[in-house]
Structure 1
């Protein structure tokens, strides 16, 4: 099959790339490994991590409109309280990680609604349960990619003028022979303050297999003891003498431990608890007394024992991460200490929230991807508050973002970091491979480092990258230009087009306190 643009991976960035390309009247192919598009927001079940200015600016218009659509969905629920419905800004789950924490199935439905017209008129072809397995590349140009349906095992060749890797692990990069990096780069390579002296391509951020949990004291919903429970329950953590399954966790500010209990305000001096951290249904927002639901993405189920790509045990590690999550739920139900001196909490899995049979997400949350070797590599010193009075205004900016450099405990060195950054920009040069002529990243696989991927991996930034990648491929087709020309002679014209489409290119620091 022949297309203008083929997008491998229906991640959050992949969906946006497909919409951008279809809006430009391109014939687009999109494939996704699961049966839900939307990646970290849907199939991986991670509520959006955002910056303080997100209600007004600091993301693409399409992202800001999506947030409004989420709230409109909840306003349409008859049992949603009027006093909440009438607010311009509210958080459906009243979480403290996100201003718009919501159920994964809601985001999936909104994405399906948005692409419906493109599927109907033929501009977009979408295939679920499909992955890339092979390619034909000539003279640094991808001619075709072979995709395989995981259910039928059928394979077919997809031809396109441009190919976008929108997988969460950067799976297309090795298949097409593109240059890429993984894990932690050395200080010599990047000059980064927090880079190790000796790099390790296998020292990556942990994955997390998220689960949906309901607080429900009205029945006994305890899991059978998972096979690996004794193993995970015996694991210690490297920063103190506590066990993995406890209310003590790493404090990246002090490099020591901190106490974070189950519920808000249970302990003096601890106003926040883990339950409300990623809560997506709050009883207080409804008139029918529906039970609260949170998404379990906590330190207790971060899987730091191995990697799920570039690792001979990748499949086993993926299954182990599922086991760790089930074990953490068993601990929560049976062994977790309560403030009253008892043990265990009345929680149950909610499969309907996830669109799965067991209540776990359809896919693991991937924090760190393979990353292209790009014309420009974004390094720690480009964004860190330690290095700048304000971050530089980039000539080739194609978007903005903001989040701390957030490195969860890694799989080899077990290091972790949370370090302040300034609001940053996304350089187009970080999206252009050093050699390949028709390949673009559209997810977490831009030219960042192990460290900066920790702040460029968040929802609004991945969305921005994907949205721009779709526009960039369409622009190159329409104007018959190369990536090099897009970066130079065509840059201003392309940026003007992005701004017309609602992509914010620069921060206005006069509106902000940084």
Structure 2
């Protein structure tokens, strides 16, 4: 059917990318009275939360501190959706901090379709009034630039040969790979920096712009006891069956041996399918993580014990494990990027086939043929996520680059806390500076971060005047990206970008002016605080 979308549009603000940072930026500008066009290359908005099948990666204090009011609104909406529409049992329905998946990776793990519904509900009033236009299955292909200003962006609608051009005085790059930075020739970096460049103790001796953290093509599965859901043998299975990635310490990737710890200690994992565990006994505090971790409950999104009998015949879990971390090459910036995307998909299919046919079971048997892909959960025909989970993208060359020695507990010491930033526009934390193995074969390093702040300078490009980043493309390094890429931090980055644009649009200013003025930065911070955005942690807060 032909599209009826106008081929040229003008709006107050253009948000390129519909992930969490893009949604947060758009929502903030909408609530400040601006008209917004937001684009998204997949069918689902939500990015890592939905189309990439990665439920919320929250820090351990998130239920009480360290999150903005709007992020709490999202989390509350997810829990309320379950309480309203799902047949929870009495214990689950009455639990203040319901974790529908009872996953140990996060205090709130849920079906991605619920996250999508809540995000759409947050935006629906603005769509209904015409203040917001969302263009899904729409990807940027070029940018019109005049000097230091992006005037318009042209998009390709999947399945439609006629492009769409959107012009706007304000543009937000919320793409998963920093696509607009490349299209508009905005100064940016990729991959790893050298120790000489950043002074980071764990940086490599040499820089490599193609050494990026692994991507993971996630999938959802359940288990049907007594049934056989074995998939066709993947084309690349023979390779992945015996592959020993350089960072895996001699272990095969298809095994229950995880990459060794940074100090060389061996680490393992196990799979206990549909154990009759107590969902309220799950420990989400990663400080208590054992050397051998259990994978079924790691990213479980539906714990059948939370629901009335007969609702779920099986738990549903997401496979985002060490086994499907793809490190054979980057998925952008190289001629064979498409081959690596295919390779990531083949790896994940190989993981499933291995689990179904060859994986050692705790009872001494081999394989779980009853493991079943859930295309309905993923929103795809084949059961794999719509898009790979992206950990690292292009990053702007910013007025301020956040480095490891400003947030690391190991470097700063137990008592120092993170470096305070006078221009803070938000806060964040995670258990680790979570660096996965990279495409150059190096094992990720990083250590533990103190609760940290998001400096305004990390959002300000060195040159461009009307473009702001809104996700993992801010001014971090290859190392610090490992803490600043998680869901609540990405949301806070988008909220700060949206607030800054609304202030500039109202007062006829530019982001650089605000950053360079202590008074204007203070005005921005006052607006953020008034909206319920914490800008600092309580005194003495540590890892």
1:240 to 223, 234, 249: 249
2:399 corresponds, among 372, 375, 379, to 375
Q: For residues 169-194 of structure 1, give each alpha carbon's deviation from its aligned partner in whole angstroms, at most 9, with x where no partner exists.
A: 00000111100000000111100001
Contact 1:335 1:344 in 2 (8 A): yes
Q: Secondary structure at the match of 2:168?
A: strand
User: Among 378, 381, 391, which residue is 1:354 paired with?
Assistant: 378
Q: CA deviation at 1:374?
A: 0.2
- SS for the counterpart of 1:417 is coil
Contact 2:465 2:512 in 1 (8 A): no
1:397 is aligned, of 424, 438, 459, to 424
Q: Distance in 2 between matches of 1:432 and 1:208?
A: 29
Contact 1:250/1:256, CA 8 A, preserved across alignment:
no
- Shift, 1:436, TM fit: 0.4
**Paired residues of 1:263 and 1:272 also in contact (CA < 8 A):** no
In the alignment, which of 168, 176, 187 is matched to residue 179 of structure 1?
Answer: 187
Q: 1:99 aligned to 2:107?
A: yes
Given that 2:249 and 2:260 are in contact with CA atoms closer than 8 Å, whether structure 1 keeps it comes out as no
Residue aligning to 2:197? 189
> Displacement, 1:78?
4.8
- SS of the residue corresponding to residue 407 of structure 1 reads coil
CA contact (8 A) 2:16 2:175 kept: yes
1:320 to 324, 343, 353: 343
Question: Which whole-Å deviations, capped at 9, do the CAs of 1:342-374 have from their partners, x for residues lacking one?
Answer: 111221011111111122111100000100000
The residue that corresponds to 1:342 in the other structure is: 365
Pairwise CA distance, 1:513: 5.3
Give CA-to-partner distance per residue, 1:207-249, whole Å, 9 cap, x none: 0000001022142111011111111112013343321100001
- What does 1:68-467 align with in structure 2 at a 5 Å threshold? 68-238=76-246, 239-263=248-272, 272-289=293-310, 290=312, 291-345=314-368, 346-388=370-412, 389-403=416-430, 404-467=432-495
> How many residues were matched structurally?
511
Is 1:508 the counterpart of 2:538? The answer is yes
Stretches of structure 2 lacking an aligned partner (at least 5 in a row): 1-8, 277-289
Tell whether the 8 Å contact from 2:178 to 2:393 is kept in structure 1 after alignment.
Answer: yes
What TM-score do the two structures reach when normalised by structure 2?
0.92
In 2, the alpha carbon distance for the partners of 1:11 and 1:368 equals 14
**How far is the alpha carbon of 1:495 from its aligned partner?**
0.7
- In 2: Cα distance, 1:144 partner to 1:257 partner: 52
Task: Name the SS for the 2:409 alignment partner.
Answer: coil
Task: Give the Cα separation in 1 of the matches to 2:510 and 2:251.
Answer: 55
C-alpha change, 1:262 and 1:418, in structure 2 (3 Å) is: farther
Q: Aligned equivalents of 2:165 and 2:78: distance in 1? A: 37
How far has the Cα of 1:390 moved from its partner? 1.4
Runs of 5+ consecutive residues of structure 1 not aligned to the other structure: none
C-alpha separation in 2, matches of 1:461 and 1:263: 32
Aligned equivalent of 2:287: none
2:3 is aligned to none
Whether contact under 8 Å (2:251, 2:259) holds in the other structure is no
Shift of 1:121: 1.0
- Evaluate the alpha carbon distance shift between residue 171 and residue 80 of structure 1 in structure 2; reply closer, same or farther with a 3 A threshold: same
Shift of the 275–418 alpha-carbon distance from structure 1 to 2, 3 Å rule, reads farther
Counterpart in the other structure of 2:529: 499
For 1:153 and 1:464, locate their aligned partners in 2 and report how far apart those are by CA, in whole Å.
36
Once residues 30 and 414 of structure 1 are traced to their aligned partners in structure 2, the CA distance between those partners, rounded to angstroms, is 37
Cα displacement (A) at 1:333: 0.5
Indicate conservation of the 8 Å contact 1:252/1:418, yes or no: no
Check conservation: 1:13, 1:466, Cα contact below 8 A: yes
Quote the residue 2:32 is aligned against: 24
CA shift, 1:68, in A, is: 1.4
Residue in 1 that maps onto 2:284:
none
Aligned to 2:329, the other structure's residue is in SS state coil
SS at match of 1:387: helix
RMSD across aligned positions (CA): 1.6
Structure 1 length-normalised TM: 0.97
Q: SS of 1:254's equivalent?
A: coil
Deviations 1:425-453 (A, max 9, x none): 00010000000001100111000000000
Cα distance in 1, alignment partners of residues 472 and 419 from structure 2: 22
Change (3 A) 1:271 1:312: closer
